[in-house]
Chain A
Amino acid sequence: MSVARFWRETLRRYNLGASKCPECQTVFFPPRSVCPQCTVHRKSMTKMEPCQLSGKGEIFSYTTVYEAADGFEMQVPYVLALVKMAEGPVLTGQVVDVDPKEVHEGMPVKATFRKLREDGDSGVIHYGYKFAIVRSPTASK
């Protein structure tokens, strides 16, 4: 992916930037400029509101990857999941720091900021969201 193309997607990759239809309240990720459910009345045109996903969600479906894509060789085996976000959209992302055997559908996760890939030793480093298992916030003692 080109440096320019990735840079244009910074808002959604870094900050989970989404958009919301003011008519039917549906949240879209990636953000849309028109609501496909309200196009008949063209009510949503120019009215879509930018918003940010909370990062909270749960695992809807997942798979364990053993044959890595370029740049992910050191992370094999890793879990790739479809995550249903609290606001509605379903996102695809890696689930980090977990034994694939522990992952299950319905597991609560939250977005975490990670390195996505590096363009070799001298190229740009791409960052964005992945997902981490939600642990209870209180210390055990």
Chain B
Amino acid sequence: MKGNGAGIVSYGTYVPRYRISPDEIGRVWGVDGVAMGKNLNIHSKSVPSPDEDTITISTEALRVAIARGNIDPREIGALYVGSESHPYAVKPTATIVAQAVGATPNLTAADFEFACKAGTAAIQVCMGLVSSGMIKYGVAIGSDTSQGAPGDALEYSASAGGGAFVIGKDHIIAKINATQSYTTDTPDFWRREGQRYPSHGGRFTGEPAYFRHVTECGKGIMKAEGTTPADYQHVVFHQPNGKFPLRAGKMLGFNDDQMRYGMVTPWIGNTYSGAALIGLANVLDHAKPSERILVVGYGSGAGSDAFDVTVTDEISHYDHSIGTPVQKDLEEGISINYSIYAKFRGKIRLSGE
């Protein structure tokens, strides 16, 4: 699918301030957390404050994007929030985010769900609305505050964060040349209605799920665009841990240098719908005009969305001074122990609750 002139006008991210290490989590469960962290290539993960959720993270990320791009929020014609941790089962996250940034009432809004790739699916929809001339700006947000069951392997990686992208046709800092998806029915990871924590197919999550979809989707878009890995300065993958994207990159023929900025999970954990978008934001924080970026998202269930992106000259005038650069969120944070973590994440229930 060609981009037809659509591109990224602005972007913003938000990562909660608190961090916990695999070592600290393992200590509580009698597991060698250091080895676990090495195995997953995760040094720390972000933890949301008790007053943060997908709605507050999405709003903060979008406010940064609007300020950096000097965008009039009333010109946003569509706003979609992709997440698997929408605070309400019924009552769209997108309505509150739209109100909080001043984009209401003249816009269409909805929540998207597709495990970790709901945010990239939202970008594709915005591309269609923008390139057809139906709207001026479309906003796609991927954001999550996901949890693993206490003691489950997911507890070492599941974190919180989000990215917001404003898609448009004019003054774009990066052109989306093309997008392509790869979708199958693969039961690698799920959560039934009303269940607090997700379930996963254990080893089934690797080969037939993540690796097959990411590599097939990546190969597919490069074939369609007539490119090879050597044509890209940067590559970003969905990153459920710090190991999978490195291996997927090697399988497709990318080197460590190309993956350098796209990797964020080792320091903030798996932000689910936010992961690929925060990785892309870190690349755009560092990218120069005419550099080319390949992005391949992944969502369990399962599917991949790929984007072939070229940075434009506009990025030289882009105001990076507003908001927090991703790099700062990778380097800084407030370390907490498991007791505080359990309190923050509602793993302790007050009497009467």
A interface with B by C-beta (< 8 Å):
10, 14-15, 52, 73-75, 94, 96-97, 112-116, 121, 125, 127, 130, 135, 137-141
Contact = CB atoms under 8 A, between A and B. Distances in A.
A115 B53 contact: yes
In the A-B complex, list the 5 residue pairs whose CB atoms are closest, starting with the nearest: A139-B327, A114-B51, A115-B51, A113-B59, A97-B17
Contacts, number: 75
A10 B104 CA distance: 12
B314 to A, nearest CB: 20
A75 B48 CA distance: 12
Given A73-B350, A75-B51, A127-B96, A137 B344 contact: no
B324 A135 contact: yes
Given A14-B99, A97-B17, A139 B325 contact: yes
Which of B16, B59, B321 has most chain A Cβ within 10 Å? B59
Contacts of B153: none
B229 to A, nearest CB: 28
B323 interface: yes
Contacts of A140: 328, 331-332
* A contact face: mostly helix, strand, loop, or mixed: mixed
Nearest to A74: B50
Contacts of B350: 73-74
B63 interface: yes
A113 B63 contact: yes
B105 interface: no
Contacts of A114: 49, 51-52, 56
Nearest to B59: A113
Given A97-B334, A113-B56, A125 B51 contact: no
- Contact size class for B? 35 or more
Given A97-B334, A141-B331, A112 B100 contact: no
A88 B353 CA distance: 41
Contacts of B63: 113
A21 B52 CA distance: 35
Given A138-B325, A139-B325, A139-B331, A14 B51 contact: no
B50 A127 contact: no
A121 B100 CA distance: 23
B324 A137 contact: yes
A14 B97 CA distance: 9
Contacts of A75: 49-51
Contacts of B88: 125
Given A10-B99, A73-B350, A139 B328 contact: yes
B35 to A, nearest CB: 29
B51 A130 contact: yes
A38 to B, nearest CB: 28
B198 interface: no
B55 interface: yes
Interface string B37-76: 0000000000001111101100110010000000000000
Contacts of B332: 135, 140
A37 B6 CA distance: 51
A141 B96 CA distance: 36
Contacts of B324: 135, 137
Contacts of B327: 139, 141
Interface in B73-100: 87-88, 96, 99-100
A125 B91 CA distance: 11
Interface string B160-178: 0000000000000000000
B134 interface: no
17 contacts: A15-B99, A15-B100, A15-B102, A52-B102, A74-B350, A96-B51, A112-B60, A113-B63, A115-B51, A125-B55, A127-B56, A127-B59, A137-B321, A138-B325, A138-B328, A139-B328, A140-B332
